[in-house]
Amino acid sequence: MFALHGFLDQRLKKFFLLCLVLSCLSSINPQWAGAVAPDQPYKKGGLKGFMERLLGIQSTSSTPTTSTSTSSLTFTAAEGSANPATQTLTITNTGGGTLSWTASEPATWLSLNPTSGAMTAGQSNVITVGVNIAGLTANTYSSTITISAPGSTNPTQQISATLTVSPPPPIIGLGPISLSFTMVEGATNSGSQTLNITNTGQGTLNWTASETASWMSLNSTAGSLTAGQSNAVTVAANPTGLTANVYTAPLTIAASCATNNPQQVLVTLAITSPSSGTATLTWDPETDLSVKGYKVYAGTSPNVYGAPVDVGNVTTFPIINLQSGKTYYFAVTAYNSAGESGYSNEASKIIP
């Protein structure tokens, strides 16, 4: 009861104050009293503003206003690669009423989802902006996303969209993928073979070559190739001081700008005893792309082999130090992360 009485008391005080003000204004200029008639529109400020402030009346606008989260979007991709990640554009009604909007863009490489919406004061809608680079060559592409909202305080908003497509990167091409040397123990002459390095992609391939084996040397360790060009590198093997055995070492070709950096070529040097025989095995590569390498088996009885030799991802391998007058039997298996295959067809050789 007391709370209600206090509330009414405050309202009566404001009403009394309003009547007092109107009475004073009417006595000064009778036309002023009509300025506050309820059927006449108020102007902002002036008497209306004074009265609103005096009585604590708050006015609200019913006109929507369009606000966007950004004024520009930027995308980058390499020619022929995957599409860049999508981005988002947020639209907010920072005014009043209901904001009804549509979004449009003229570029065939741009896509918007959704393209229309409606929201009340304070609400937001999110547009997903996607890019499709299929068929686009290296260049910079520009377009404009237009947000139209008739009836809002700013009925048109524009957001720039830029797509930069860079040239496709270079790719390291090698041939052959392995090198093999066979020499007799005690020999001092070096053997050499040629490795071709090719840019099978686009752009410029700046490559370097390195090796860690003391018995291997290269006549060139760096080069620069445009699309389709090749460099020939001479790879030499020196058997001096090496005893009968099989030596393997990787030759690494590096190019930080290439999509398949780095690449390796396995180099094998087989040193045989002067009185021993050799057998060089060659097989067709496995078409299964999951294959990581091969193992070579050898023995002196059919289908009976000793411990295998892991030769890596090569398709030619020399077997050395075979005794004269014996027949040797050979088989090859392939392996991947899941395990090892069965034996290949068996091959044999009589060492004279």
- Dihedral over Cα of 174, 216, 179, 306: its sign: negative
Q: Mean per-residue pLDDT for 160-188?
A: 92
State how many domains the chain has. Answer: 4
Q: Give the model's confidence band at 9: pLDDT under 50 very low, under 70 low, under 90 confident, else very high.
A: low
In-domain check, residue 256: yes
- For residues 247 and 179, membership in a common domain is answered with yes
For residue 10, what pLDDT is reported? 52
- Half-sphere CA count of 128, side-chain side, radius 13 A: 6
For residue 37, what pLDDT is reported? 41
Q: Which of 239, 274, 309 is the last residue of a domain?
A: 274
Q: Which of 166, 195, 212 is the last residue of a domain?
A: 166
- For residues 150 and 183, membership in a common domain is answered with no
Give the closest residue to 308 by CA, choosing from 317, 169, 160.
317
Residue 30 has pLDDT above 50, yes or no: no
Type of residue numbered 126? V
In order of 51, 126, 259, 282, the CA distances from 202 in angstroms are 75, 38, 11, 33
| Segment among 118-122, 126-130, 209-213, 276-280 with least mean pLDDT | 276-280
- For residues 119 and 154, membership in a common domain is answered with yes
| Gap between the Cα atoms of 316 and 339, Å rounded | 21
For residue 352, what pLDDT is reported? 83
- For residues 215 and 304, membership in a common domain is answered with no
Domain that includes residue 134, residue range: 66-166
Give the closest residue to 95 by CA, choosing from 145, 41, 158, 149.
149
- For residues 301 and 250, membership in a common domain is answered with no
The predicted model scores a pTM of 0.56
- For residues 161 and 95, membership in a common domain is answered with yes
Q: In sequence order, which residues have a C-beta less than 8 Å from that of residue 77 and are 6 or more positions away?
A: 83, 84, 131, 133, 163, 164, 165, 166
- The CB density around residue 304, as the number of other CB atoms within 10 Å, is 9
Residue with tokens 């050789």: 349
Please report, rounded to a whole number, the percentage of residues in the chain having pLDDT higher than 70: 83
- For residues 149 and 192, membership in a common domain is answered with no
| Segment among 47-56, 105-114, 191-200, 242-251 with least mean pLDDT | 47-56
- For residues 117 and 194, membership in a common domain is answered with no
For residue 58, what pLDDT is reported? 44
For residue 49, what pLDDT is reported? 52
Q: Mean per-residue pLDDT for 19-38?
A: 45
Residue with tokens 């497509």: 165
3-state secondary structure of 151: coil
Residue 209, φ and ψ in degrees, nearest 5: -120, 140
For residue 41, what pLDDT is reported? 42
Q: Domain holding 340: CATH number?
A: 2.60.40.10
- For residues 229 and 319, membership in a common domain is answered with no
In-domain check, residue 9: yes
Give the closest residue to 291 by CA, choosing from 276, 308, 311.
311
Most confident listed range (161-165, 201-205, 240-244): 161-165
Q: Give the model's confidence band at 42: pLDDT under 50 very low, under 70 low, under 90 confident, else very high.
A: very low
Contact of 161 with 73, CB cutoff 8 Å: yes
For residue 289, what pLDDT is reported? 87
- Kindly report the average pLDDT of the chain as a whole number: 86
In-domain check, residue 348: yes
In-domain check, residue 61: no
In-domain check, residue 38: yes
pLDDT tens, residue by residue, 76-122: 998 888 999 999 999 999 999 999 999 999 999 999 999 999 999 99
- For residues 182 and 133, membership in a common domain is answered with no
- For residues 174 and 159, membership in a common domain is answered with no
| Segment among 57-71, 107-121, 336-350 with least mean pLDDT | 57-71
Of the chain, the end-to-end C-alpha distance in Å amounts to 125
Q: In sequence order, which residues have a C-beta less than 8 Å from that of residue 118 and are 6 or more positions away?
A: 98, 99, 100, 101
Q: Give the model's confidence band at 123: pLDDT under 50 very low, under 70 low, under 90 confident, else very high.
A: very high
- For residues 283 and 259, membership in a common domain is answered with no
Type of residue numbered 324? S
For residue 221, what pLDDT is reported? 97
For residue 325, what pLDDT is reported? 87
Q: Mean per-residue pLDDT for 148-177?
A: 94
Q: Which of 274, 290, 323 is the last residue of a domain?
A: 274
More confident residue, 313 or 16: 313
| Gap between the Cα atoms of 233 and 197, Å rounded | 8
For residue 274, what pLDDT is reported? 83
Q: How is residue 134 written in tokens?
A: 């299929």
| Gap between the Cα atoms of 129 and 90, Å rounded | 11
Q: Give the model's confidence band at 175: pLDDT under 50 very low, under 70 low, under 90 confident, else very high.
A: very high
For residue 27, what pLDDT is reported? 46
For residue 47, what pLDDT is reported? 53
